[in-house]
Amino acid sequence: MTWNLFIDDERELTDVTWAPWQVRELYRNEEWKIARNGTEVMDFFLQLGMPSYISFDHDLGEDSGTGYDIVKLLVDIDMKTTEDMYRFSDNFSFYVHSQNPIGKANIEGYLNNYLKHKKGE
């Protein structure tokens, strides 16, 4: 099953006006699940498996962890499971819409490095 996940504690997809036009088109033309915190992310994940596309925020509110925490958890699951539905697919993609520049760089760096490693690059 392919599905899209938008992770943000406050914003709606239409609020992310700074995203590149290609991402905004995805926001408008695709169906999305919205998770406000890590618990909601895991609820969707356990029901539906790994999303095919994730749009990340970094700061998810007090006592809710961060988008970076979620990335580390998803990578850990991908490394340890043999069930395809819980692993990143070959066509997995993501965007980090966070306004926190350090958090954005951390998520992008961690996930890009892992996906390159996974592909053997």
Q: What does the alpha-carbon distance between residue 36 and residue 79 come to, in Å, rounded to a whole number?
A: 25
DSSP per residue, the chain: ---EEEE-SS--GGG-TTS-HHHHHHHHHS-EEEESSHHHHHHHHHHH-S-SEEEE-SB--TTS-BHHHHHHHHHHHHHH---GGGS--TT-EEEE--S-HHHHHHHHHHHHHHHHHHTT-
pLDDT digits (tens, 9 = 90+) for 43-98: 999 999 999 999 999 999 888 899 999 999 999 999 999 999 999 999 999 999 99
Would you place residue 115 in the very low, low, confident or very high pLDDT band (cuts 50, 70, 90)? very high
pLDDT digits (tens, 9 = 90+) for 20-42: 999 999 999 999 999 999 999 99
**For range 100-117, the mean pLDDT:** 98
Q: What ranges do the domains of the chain cover?
A: 4-118
Is the CATH number 3.40.50 carried by domain 4-118?
yes
